[in-house]
Structure 1
Amino acid sequence: MGQKVSSQPRKVRKRQVYRAPLHVKAKQLVAPLSSELREKYGIKRVRVRKGDRVLIVRGSFKGHEGKVVGVDVKKVRIFVEGVNLTKADGTEVPFPIHPSKVVITELDLSDPLRKEKIEGRVSGGE
């Protein structure tokens, strides 16, 4: 027999969100593309990567645009340059942002595999 599958929402949530393996959490690190990029590539969302330029559209840093300087797969958060919090002792720490709260304005296509994958979708995957 197979494993028992729970139908209790709290247990399902625990498995899908809080205790998800990293390869599943990596798939949660997607952000919508700007309307210009969406027209150009025909893709609605793509995984955020270090080097992409993003515009923050929600939260206290709304309107800030900057380069992604880090990605935390474990916590499903990204870090944008210039978006920092000042601690009580005066030190600046990067502020973690959920990728759904940003819009990608410029893609980093320096990786040939990523470029091929994104541009391959435009031509219909041929």
Structure 2
Amino acid sequence: MQRAVSSKPTKVRKREVYTAPLHVRSKRIIAPLSKELREKLGVRRVRVRKGDRVLIVRGSFKGHEGKVVRVNIKKERIYVEGAVLRKADGTEVPFPIHPSKVIIIELDLSDKRRKELFGKGASGGGS
């Protein structure tokens, strides 16, 4: 038996988002750069990586600044140190944040390939 495919564009777009493979989902984990970094590198937004320093600009943790401790590609969320929820029993759990709700204020350039990418400055291409 064949499954019926919807002709509704909204349903088709939603299916593409939630059934996308991980290599496609990882491209959606991007965040804008701060004004200083944007002018320095000539790039508007980049993929968020573990070790980047970010400023949360939306939600209950607005104004909080910290390092990215984990990136969840499957859920398309990042976890920032200090942005935690306290459960009823007192334990703390990291709070998932959408990458579009943060601004990258410092890049982790410890990786050789990433350093090469942004070492080019304004003449280098964007992501």
TM-score (structure 1 length as normaliser): 0.89
**Conserved 8 A contact 2:78-2:98:** yes
Offset of 1:100 from its aligned partner?
0.1
Q: Is 1:84 aligned to residue 84 of structure 2? A: yes
Opposite residue 65 of structure 1, the aligned amino acid is E
Residue number in structure 1 paired with 2:11: 10
Whole-Å Cα distance in 2 between the matches of residues 64 and 71 of structure 1? 17
Q: Is 1:62 aligned to residue 62 of structure 2? A: yes
Whole-Å Cα distance in 1 between the matches of residues 124 and 100 of structure 2? 26
Offset of 1:75 from its aligned partner?
0.2
* Secondary structure, aligned partner of 1:31: strand
Q: Give aligned pairs, total.
A: 121
Whole-Å Cα distance in 1 between the matches of residues 30 and 72 of structure 2? 12
Q: Is 1:119 aligned to residue 114 of structure 2? A: no
Structure 2 alignment gaps of length 5 or more: none
Structure 1 alignment gaps of length 5 or more: none
**Conserved 8 A contact 1:41-1:122:** yes
Offset of 1:115 from its aligned partner?
1.0
**Conserved 8 A contact 2:31-2:102:** yes
**Conserved 8 A contact 1:42-1:121:** yes
Bigger proportion of residues as strand: 2
Residue number in structure 2 paired with 1:36: 36
Structure 1 stretches of 4+ with a deviation exceeding 4 A read: 4-7
Offset of 1:6 from its aligned partner?
5.4
Offset of 1:124 from its aligned partner?
3.7
Residue number in structure 2 paired with 1:75: 75
Aligned sequence identity (%): 68
Offset of 1:7 from its aligned partner?
5.7
